[in-house]
Amino acid sequence: MPHPVSIPWSRLARRLSRPLLGVFMGGLLAAGAAQAEPTAGGVLNLVAQPEPPSLMHGVVTHVATQYVGGKILQGLLTFDTHLQPQPVLARHWAIAPDGLTYTFDLQQGVQWHDGQPFTAKDVLFSFNTFYPEVDKRMASVFGEFVASIDAPNPSQVVFHLKRPFAPLLSSLGSGLRPIVPEHLYAGTDFRNNPYNLKPVGTGPFMFAEWKRGAYIKLVKNPHYWKPGLPYLDAIVFHVIPDASARASAFERGDVQVLRSGDADYADMKRLGALPGVTASDKGYELYTGLAFLQINVRKPPLDNPKVRQAILYALNRPFIVNNIFFGGGEVAQGPFATNSPYHDPQLPQYAYDPAKARALIAESGVDVGKVRIRLLNGEKGGAWERLAEYTKQALQPLGFKVQVVTSDAATWFQRVSDWDFDLTYNFIFQIGDPYLTNAYLYRSDYIVKTSPFANVSGYQNPAADALWDKVANTPDGAPRQALYSQLENLLNTDLPIVPIFQMRYPTLYKQTVGNLLQTATSLNEDYDSVYLEAPAP
Of 15-29, 85-99, 331-345, 412-426, which gets the smallest average pLDDT?
Answer: 15-29
Residue 13 has pLDDT above 70, yes or no: no
Task: Considering only residues 22 and 369, tell me which one the structure prediction assigns the higher pLDDT.
Answer: 369
Per domain, the residue ranges of the chain are 31-72+203-284+506-537, 74-181, 288-503
In 3-state terms, what secondary structure has residue 158? strand
How much of the chain exceeds pLDDT 70, in percent?
A: 91
Average pLDDT over residues 339-356: 93
With a CB cutoff of 8 Å and minimum separation 6, the contacts of 527 are 44, 71, 204, 205, 230, 232, 235, 516
With a CB cutoff of 8 Å and minimum separation 6, the contacts of 276 are 510, 511, 512
CATH number listed for the domain at residues 74-181: 3.90.76.10
Q: What is the mean pLDDT of the chain?
A: 89
Which residues lie across from 377 on neighbouring strands?
Answer: 406
Whole-model pTM? 0.71
Distance CA 69, CA 334 (A): 32
Residue 18 has pLDDT above 50, yes or no: no
Distance CA 506, CA 484 (A): 31
Q: Do 193 and 105 touch, CB atoms closer than 8 A?
A: no
DSSP string covering 222-249: TT-SSTT----SEEEEE----HHHHHHH
Which residues lie across from 104 on neighbouring strands?
Answer: 93, 157
Helix (H) or strand (E) holding 252: helix 243-252
Distance CA 128, CA 407 (A): 35
CATH class entry, domain 31-72+203-284+506-537 = alpha beta
Average pLDDT over residues 269-287: 89
With a CB cutoff of 8 Å and minimum separation 6, the contacts of 7 are 166, 167, 433, 476
**Per-residue pLDDT tens over the stretch 94-107:** 999 988 999 999 99
**Per-residue pLDDT tens over the stretch 114-131:** 999 999 999 999 999 999
- Burial (CB < 10 A; 0-12, 13-18, 19+), residue 367, is exposed
Which residues lie across from 505 on neighbouring strands?
Answer: none
- Residue 521 vs residues 442, 453, 462, 463: alpha-carbon distances, Å: 26, 19, 36, 35
Residue 321 has pLDDT above 90, yes or no: yes
How much of the chain exceeds pLDDT 90, in percent?
A: 69
Tell me, what DSSP letter sits at residue 210? E
Q: Do 509 and 256 touch, CB atoms closer than 8 A?
A: yes
Among 3.10.105.10, 1.10.1060.10, 3.40.50.10070, 3.30.450.150, what is the CATH number of 288-503?
3.10.105.10
Task: Considering only residues 7 and 522, tell me which one the structure prediction assigns the higher pLDDT.
Answer: 522
Category of 88 on φ-ψ map: left (φ > 0), alpha (ψ -120 to 50) or beta: alpha
Residue 22 has pLDDT above 70, yes or no: no
Strands (E), 296-400: 329-331, 372-377
User: At residue 517, what is the residue type?
Assistant: L
**Per-residue pLDDT tens over the stretch 288-314:** 789 999 999 999 999 999 999 999 999
Q: What is the pLDDT of residue 90?
A: 98
> How many other C-beta atoms are found inside a 10 Å radius of the C-beta of residue 20?
23
Q: What is the CA radius of gyration of the chain?
A: 23
**By C-alpha distance, which of 131, 74, 85, 79 is closest to 107?**
74
Distance CA 429, CA 505 (A): 12
Which residues lie across from 404 on neighbouring strands?
Answer: 375
User: At residue 248, what is the residue type?
Assistant: S
